[in-house]
Amino acid sequence: MAKPKLAVWKFASCDGCQLTLLDCEDELLEIAGALEIAQFLEATSAIDDGPYDISLVEGSITTAHDAERIRAIREKSDVLITIGACATAGGIQSLRNFADVEAFTSAVYAHPEFISTLETSTAISDHVTVDFELRGCPVSKHQLLELITATLAGRVPRVPKVSQCTECKLNGTVCVMVAKGTPCLGPVTQAGCGNLCPSHGRGCYGCFGPKENPNPQALSAQLADLGMEPRELRDIYRTFNAGAPAFAEESKSHE
């Protein structure tokens, strides 16, 4: 039997999530044994025009050309999975969504008239149907392997939808917001990073985006009690997942 064909695609991004797949090392060899890597320019120059059984997509849509390209990829992919904050929420580049893009291009480029870009940076799901979204900046190696394995097996991936606070408690990490008054997005952020920042005494930066049914209004009230000003409350939601609707709406309420 022919192996399922896997394609990995890049849009506007830093390549970090693709590198996470390459960092799987030994596990990647097993994946390569179970799949035919038909398209993955980060790893090989081989190109297969498809169709594809699974497409992993990194990066956000920031140009009209990319909006056309993702539609073509969707048509050739049985299963399309977005990986990382850029693909699932527009990424750090979605900060443009709150500002004047022409002002940015005029300040950065000597000839801004040559720049062809959209006014916004948006998630892949804003343009095509997505079968699964894997959060993170970058994604978790373990979650990525689970996702690929589950997709090959035809089952639902075991990816948690609980908050980072749950992960802190499971790891015995003392709450930095309660113990030290450190601002933390843990209560509204999906778990998955392995409790990285809180375990080192830092607040969560929201790398994995909003958890299922977040309540950022309640968190903002608590952060305000800790002394955060409106501008600080606005900015704390405008990082890797600034374009995620729950974070974007809450940040706008503090402008």
Residues of the chain above pLDDT 70, percent:
100
Q: What's the confidence (pLDDT) of residue 27?
A: 83
Q: Is there a contact between 75 and 129 (Cβ–Cβ < 8 Å)?
A: no
- The pLDDT value given to residue 30: 80
- 227-233: average pLDDT: 96
Question: Per-residue pLDDT tens for 195-217?
Answer: 999 999 999 999 999 999 999 99
Structure confidence at residue 1 (pLDDT): 66
pLDDT band at 189 (very low <50, low <70, confident <90, very high): very high
Q: b/e string for 141-153 if b means 16 or more Cβ within 10 A?
A: bebbbebbbebbe
- Is the pLDDT reported for residue 178 higher than 70? yes
What's the CA gap between 189 and 62, in Å, rounded? 25
**Residue predicted with more confidence, 87 or 116:** 87
The pLDDT value given to residue 24: 85
SS3 238: coil
Q: For residue 214, what pLDDT is reported?
A: 95
Neighbouring CB atoms inside 10 A of 79's CB total 15
The answer, yes or no, to whether residue 224 has pLDDT greater than 90, is yes
Mean of the per-residue pLDDT values of the chain: 94
pLDDT digits (tens, 9 = 90+) for 60-114: 999 999 999 999 999 999 999 999 999 999 999 999 999 999 988 999 999 999 9
- Judged by average pLDDT, the poorest of 12-26, 115-129, 212-226, 227-241 is 12-26
Q: Is the four-CA dihedral 28, 33, 35, 36 of positive or negative sign?
A: positive
- Report how many helices (DSSP H) and strands (DSSP E) the chain contains, helices first: 11, 5
pLDDT of 134 higher than 90:
yes
Give the per-residue pLDDT at 34.
86
Per-residue pLDDT band at 244 (split at 50, 70, 90): very high
